[in-house]
Amino acid sequence: MLQIYDTLTKKKAPFTPLKTGEISIYVCGMTVYDYCHIGHARVMVSFDVITRFLRSTGWKVDYVRNITDVDDKIIKRATENQESMPALTERMIEAMHEDEQKLFVLPPDQEPRATAHIQGIIDITQTLIDKGYAYPASNGDVYYRVAKFEGYGKLSNKNIDDLRAGARVAVNDAKENPIDFVLWKTAKEGEVSWDSPWGAGRPGWHIECSAMSKHCLGDNFDIHGGGPDLPFPHHENEIAQSEAANGCTFANLWMHAGAVRVNSEKMSKSLGNFFTIRDVLKKYNPEVVRLFLASVHYRSYIDYSEASLKEAQTKLERFYQALRGITPVAAPLDNTYQADFNAAMNDDFNTPKAIAVLFELVNDLNTASRQKDAATGALAHQLLALADSIGLLQQDPESFLQGDAKEGEISADVIEALIVDRKQARANKDFAESDRIRDALLAQGIVLKDTREGTSWFRES
RNA sequence: GGCGCGAUGACAGAGUGGUCAUGUAGCGGACUGCAACUCCGUCAACGCCGGUUCGAUUCCGACUCGCGCCUCCA
């Protein structure tokens, strides 16, 4: 039985889908004005793990992750770069797709872009005005009338009075109330804009998700997800917009990933302490990053550090060492691994516990392999099948372990040649020479492993 | 100030009212020419103070410390 923690109720509860066997998920994706950082990677990977697992257990998943390709930051950045807004967003979307592909993140089923849903945005805004939940102001902007929406604050536990008292938003005389937020912004001279009943302008920040989710999944859908900083104000405002406009519950359940930290501080754009995915991938195999992110429950914070990435690297080496040279066989196996693994994942996607099951399986696999047990191939197959259900162990063991020679690193050909020399030296009992070769390789990060069948090697990072 | 989250062995990180998490590191052994890989064994923990209980790391309350949101950020 699938159980999921809901940000709104703050409880973990059995999941009930709108349609039997089907799950609709809308996740807030990227605002494309810069390269993705590890925080973005966490959201991408978390929901990729979740959707892969759900599918592996028979759910039909409709996974939507949007792209916000018009907003203040994008306009600002495009101006700074002296490039057009579409040129900037196209560039960043392409980079994002490269990053996620490297991380073994499958594309969402639908990836709507805000600029393709302007009409939907205008329609919702008009509906909100008609229903009295929004008003065109003297400056031409259209604002949401927060006080009018009864449930405002229910997701993030805010109440309107506290927000008003502590409002740090710059005072804006055009608003009826300082906590009102903008749905439609009047375009400034020379800015990108679309025609609307309220003049040329562009959408505010939150309205695009109300429009895109409505278009892709309907007025009411199963799960809405996103990063740790989205419950307030973004998701709170989405609820206010969608529920007021559509007159029904918006998302049935809310999921939020935990923060990535660096030195005990949240990694964020505004603090400037972020690492981009592409920078990290220069040093680590993409699957190392994936395993690092899956090593902690998706709702907890995770600390980014060289040590934790190294640890993930070591773990992955253990997995691939176990699989190396073994031919998986799809044979029935009498064990509880599958059941334990699925139980862990069905319990609010407990990846650390699920991965612990994989390690227990590795131990059995290694033992079987040592003893030339007939179950070896079946165990390897089981390990690969379980890992695959969360998008791990996607690479060939040999090529993962040997890696690609990076700039200035010793090539596979040279290594193989030295191994032949060493084999000759060992045959001659010239251990001084054989050890010299091994040490020389080790100094370049190449570790040798002698087996009855010969010598294999892997690249340490 | 308001709302919320967390504190587990050397480190990372799950979990449970009374028997093992798991991984790395350490220690002892096997394998090996010596190693590495691998295997066997082993050490080690539940912030602090009360309460409930036959029994609490696990439930309840106070405290201390750390963190997040309340403003753009995944």
Residue by residue, what is the 3-state secondary structure of A387-419?
A: HHCCCCCCCCHHHHHHCCCCCCCCCHHHHHHHH
Could you say which of A242, A257, A272 is where a domain stops? A257
Q: Is the CB of A373 under 7 A from strand B?
A: no
Return the closest-CA partner of residue A438 out of A428, A454, A427, A426: A426
* pLDDT grade for A398, boundaries at 50, 70 and 90: very high
Distance between CA atoms of A113 and A29, rounded to whole angstroms? 10
Same domain, A251 and A380: no
Same domain, A190 and A134: yes
**For strand B, which residues in window 96-115 of chain A come within 7 Å by CB?**
none
Same domain, A334 and A411: no
Q: What is the arithmetic mean of pLDDT over A267-281?
A: 92
- With distances taken from each CA to the C1' atom of nucleotide B12, the closest residue turns out to be A308
Of A88-92, A334-338, A374-378, A412-416, the one with minimum mean pLDDT is A334-338
**For strand B, which residues in window 341-360 of chain A come within 7 Å by CB?**
344, 347, 350, 352-353, 355-356, 359-360
Q: What is the arithmetic mean of pLDDT over A386-394?
A: 98
Length in residues, chain A: 461
Q: What is the DSSP string of A160-188?
A: HHHHHHT--SPP-TTSSSTT-EEEEEEPP
- Please tell me what DSSP assigns to residue A140: S
Read off the tokens for A307: 């040590």
Same domain, A280 and A247: no
Same domain, A243 and A270: no
Exposed / middle / buried, residue A147 (Cβ in 10 Å: 0-12, 13-18, 19+): middle
Of A80-94, A420-434, A446-460, the one with minimum mean pLDDT is A446-460
Q: What phi and psi values does residue A260 have, to the nearest 5 degrees?
A: -95, 130
Same domain, A68 and A123: yes
Question: What pLDDT, on a 0 to 100 scale, did the predictor assign at position A174?
Answer: 84
Same domain, A13 and A102: yes
Question: What pLDDT, on a 0 to 100 scale, did the predictor assign at position A26?
Answer: 98
Same domain, A186 and A62: yes
- In angstroms, the CA of A382 and the C1' of B7 are apart by 37
The domain that contains A281 carries what CATH number? 1.20.120.640
Same domain, A224 and A122: yes
- With distances taken from each CA to the C1' atom of nucleotide B40, the closest residue turns out to be A367
Question: What pLDDT, on a 0 to 100 scale, did the predictor assign at position A453?
Answer: 82
Same domain, A266 and A412: no
Could you say which of A401, A417, A432 is where a domain stops? A401
Q: What is the arithmetic mean of pLDDT over A125-130?
A: 98
- How many helices and strands in chain A, by DSSP H and E? 16, 15
Same domain, A336 and A320: yes
- In angstroms, the CA of A450 and the C1' of B29 are apart by 21
Is the pLDDT reported for residue A329 higher than 90? yes
**What ipTM is given for this predicted complex?**
0.96
List bases, strand B, within 7 Å of protein CB.
1-5, 11-15, 21-25, 32-40, 66-74
| C-alpha distances in Å from residue A156, one per residue of A145, A233, A251, A298 | 18, 8, 15, 19
Mean pLDDT for chain A overall: 94
Question: What pLDDT, on a 0 to 100 scale, did the predictor assign at position A335?
Answer: 86
Question: What pLDDT, on a 0 to 100 scale, did the predictor assign at position A460?
Answer: 82
* pLDDT grade for A402, boundaries at 50, 70 and 90: very high
* pLDDT grade for A396, boundaries at 50, 70 and 90: very high
Q: Which domain holds residue A367?
A: 261-401
Q: Is the CB of A94 under 7 A from strand B?
A: no
Is the pLDDT reported for residue A306 higher than 60? yes
Q: What is the arithmetic mean of pLDDT over A368-380?
A: 94
The domain that contains A137 carries what CATH number? 3.40.50.620
Distance between CA atoms of A398 and A421, rounded to whole angstroms? 22
Q: What is the arithmetic mean of pLDDT over A141-152?
A: 95
Question: What pLDDT, on a 0 to 100 scale, did the predictor assign at position A165?
Answer: 64
Is the pLDDT reported for residue A171 higher than 80? no
Q: How many domains does chain A have?
A: 3
- How do beta strands A181-186 and A142-144 pair? antiparallel
**For strand B, which residues in window 386-415 of chain A come within 7 Å by CB?**
none
Q: What is the arithmetic mean of pLDDT over A68-89?
A: 95
Same domain, A85 and A211: yes
Q: Note the pTM of the prediction, 2 decimals.
A: 0.96
Packed helices A118-130 and A236-246: angle between N→C axes, nearest 10 degrees: 70
Question: What pLDDT, on a 0 to 100 scale, did the predictor assign at position A44?
Answer: 97
Is the pLDDT reported for residue A170 higher than 60? no
Q: Tokens 């509860």 correspond to what residue?
A: A13
3-state helix, strand, coil in chain A (%, to 5): 45, 15, 35
Is the pLDDT reported for residue A168 higher than 60? no
Could you say which of A218, A239, A257 is where a domain stops? A257
Q: Is the CB of A449 under 7 A from strand B?
A: yes
- In angstroms, the CA of A264 and the C1' of B66 are apart by 9
Q: Is the CB of A90 under 7 A from strand B?
A: no
Q: Is the CB of A265 under 7 A from strand B?
A: yes
Question: What pLDDT, on a 0 to 100 scale, did the predictor assign at position A461?
Answer: 66
| Higher local confidence (pLDDT), A161 or A314 | A314
